[in-house]
């Protein structure tokens, strides 16, 4: 009996996540951990953002994002922009150091993924990228 495609996809995604995390752990690809990389990428790509907006984007609770962004702030990768209407609220903006660190990590990750795909045709790479993008968009719709 043939498995439903979702069974194969679920298993393959689990294997992918395990393997990708294994090769990116302990600075093996860049110096940023996954949460730092994704938060910096989000802020860099979409502009300053508050903790609530980041929590919604990543489907995490505010306390988790607060801890993660506090670590970024402590490392000098982001800084707070106070909200003029609400003295308790703030947005986070990437620093020059954060921009440089993000660029270095993006390049290191790109090179690693490109190496994994070196034996794939350009068409297969484009199709895989498009399908991953489509799949990731299902979480935000």
DSSP assignment letter at 49: B
What local confidence, expressed as pLDDT, does residue 30 receive? 78
Q: Is the per-residue pLDDT at 27 higher than 60? A: no
Average pLDDT over the chain reads 91
**If you average pLDDT over residues 92-116, what whole number do you get?**
94
Residue at 21 is within a domain: no
What local confidence, expressed as pLDDT, does residue 20 receive? 82
What local confidence, expressed as pLDDT, does residue 50 receive? 94
Residue at 121 is within a domain: yes
Residue at 88 is within a domain: yes
* pLDDT confidence bin for 17, thresholds 50/70/90: confident
Residue at 37 is within a domain: yes
Residue at 46 is within a domain: yes
Reported as a single tens digit per residue, the pLDDT across 36-51 is 999 999 999 999 999 9
Residue at 9 is within a domain: no
What local confidence, expressed as pLDDT, does residue 25 receive? 66
Q: Give pTM, 2 decimals.
A: 0.85
Q: Is the per-residue pLDDT at 127 higher than 60? A: yes
Supply the CATH number for residue 128's domain: 1.10.10.10
Residue at 91 is within a domain: yes
* pLDDT confidence bin for 139, thresholds 50/70/90: confident
* Number of domains, the chain: 1
Helices (DSSP H) in the chain: which residue ranges? 5-24, 34-46, 51-58, 62-74, 96-116, 122-137
Residue 56's domain comprises 29-136
Residue at 74 is within a domain: yes
Burial status of residue 54 (CB atoms within 10 A of its CB: 0-12, 13-18, 19 or more): buried
Measured distance CA(102)–CA(105) in Å, rounded:
5
Contact in structure between 94 and 77 (CB atoms under 8 Å): yes
């Amino acid at each position: 009996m043939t498995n439903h495609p979702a069974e194969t996809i679920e298993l393959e995604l689990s294997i992918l996540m395990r393997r990708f995390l294994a090769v990116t752990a302990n600075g093996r690809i860049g110096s940023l951990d996954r949460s730092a990389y994704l938060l910096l990428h989000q802020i860099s790509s979409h502009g300053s953002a508050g903790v609530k907006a980041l929590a919604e984007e990543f489907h995490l609770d505010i306390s988790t994002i607060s801890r993660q962004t506090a670590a970024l702030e402590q490392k000098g990768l982001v800084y707070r922009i106070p909200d003029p209407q609400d003295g308790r609220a703030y947005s986070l903006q990437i620093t020059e150091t954060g921009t440089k660190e993000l660029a270095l990590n993006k390049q290191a990750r790109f090179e690693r993924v490109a190496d994994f795909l070196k034996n794939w045709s350009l068409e297969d790479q484009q199709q895989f990228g498009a399908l991953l993008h489509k799949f990731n968009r299902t979480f935000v719709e």
